[in-house]
Amino acid sequence: MALKTLGQFIIEKQADFPYAKGELSRLLRDIGIAAKVINREVNKAGLADILGESGDQNVQGEMQKKLDVYADEQFIEALSRGGECCYIASEEHEGGIDLTVRTTATSHSGKYIVCMDPLDGSSNIDLNVSVGSIFSIYRRKDLNRPLTEADVLQVGHDQVAAGYVIYGSSTMLVYTTGKGVNGFTLDPSIGEFCLSHPDMRIPAEGRTYSINEGNYLKFPQYIKDYIKYCQMEDVETNRPYTSRYIGSMVADLHRTLITGGIFLYPETSSYPDGKLRLLYECNPMAFIIEQAGGMAISARDRVLDIKPVHLHQRTPIVIGSMNMVKKVCEFMNRPYEDVNAAGSKFTFSG
């Protein structure tokens, strides 16, 4: 049977969004094109002068890698040229990029806001370890008035689409539009992403926990207690669990999505508000994992219910298999129902 390409799949699903009239489909196509260009450079990184640091720092105070900059440029170019995007929030820029102020006629009518981490896990670039790109898409609130901060700082449950690309032994694009999760593997022989993982579901249980245990002494007590729980032997619950930590959120969560498990990046004494960014790391990954049947919480709330107050806001996150995240809630002394904030539009279910 012939493989279904990403473009074909997007067009088939276009009817799910009667308000879109094809714009969201074209935006997802543009993201796929940028991902293919970045994949090409990632795969020849050792042969070209694109390894190492660029010499600049990003807004987080982190040294930018050359591929960080390259990936950022490719996404901005693709999104600017396509005309469906009106605003880009990127990890690599202190302020957002307002495309409505540019002179091209198409950018003024863009309906969508894209938040992105162009190259997640960039500390692994020089080591030939899997890295990825993360994106999140929101609808602009009102096309009849100028773009405002409220259009950008939306809660995660208002995302219309989110996804990631993992550049590894094979390159995969995984995305959701709120109607399940589907994965596409890049076939280099035809240069197309082809549907390889339809209707992805995360197992309710897993045997892997993923956390940077080098920060153990800085973790809150409930996380320390949960780690000890993971390490204790118990035949009935298939413990001890296996510790697996790659250091790239995309790579760790891709494994977690497929095999089950839990990924934890909690608050620490050094980062009391957490370290990962809400808009372009935690929100899109939480949307994907929830759509696949999993769960994502911060230290206080469901991730997708957090109201952002600035572009580079950070948050703790515990995300993965439903039953494993519920267990962390027990160590918080908060049953998982209490984590679902009052007034939320979502109820956790197995």
**Residue ranges at the known binding site for substrate:** 120-123, 212, 245, 275
Contact 152, 165 (CB under 8 A): no
DSSP per residue, 65-119: EHHHHHHHHHHHHHHHHHS-EEEEEETT-SS-EEGGGSS-HHHHT--EEEEEEEE
Q: How many CB atoms lie within 10 A of CB 194?
A: 16
CA dist 284 and 113 (Å) reads 13
Contact 284, 163 (CB under 8 A): yes
CA dist 94 and 233 (Å) reads 46
Q: Could you tell me which of 218, 222, 220, 216 has the C-alpha nearest to residue 333? A: 222
Instruction: Kindly state the tokens that stand for 295.
Output: 């769960």
For the chain, give the longest Cα–Cα distance.
Answer: 65
Instruction: Kindly state the tokens that stand for 221.
Output: 């007590």
- How many CA atoms lie less than 13 Å away from 325 in the CB half-sphere? 36
Write out the H or E segment, with its range, that includes residue 315.
strand 314-315
- How many CA atoms lie less than 13 Å away from 78 in the CB half-sphere? 22
Place of tokens 């050094």: 270
Contact 202, 254 (CB under 8 A): no
List the beta bridge partners of residue 242: 208
Instruction: Kindly state the tokens that stand for 244.
Output: 């697996």
CA dist 343 and 86 (Å) reads 30
Contact 165, 172 (CB under 8 A): yes
**Residues in the annotated binding site for Mg(2+):** 91, 117, 119-120, 281
**Residues in the annotated binding site:** 91, 117, 119-123, 212, 245, 275, 281
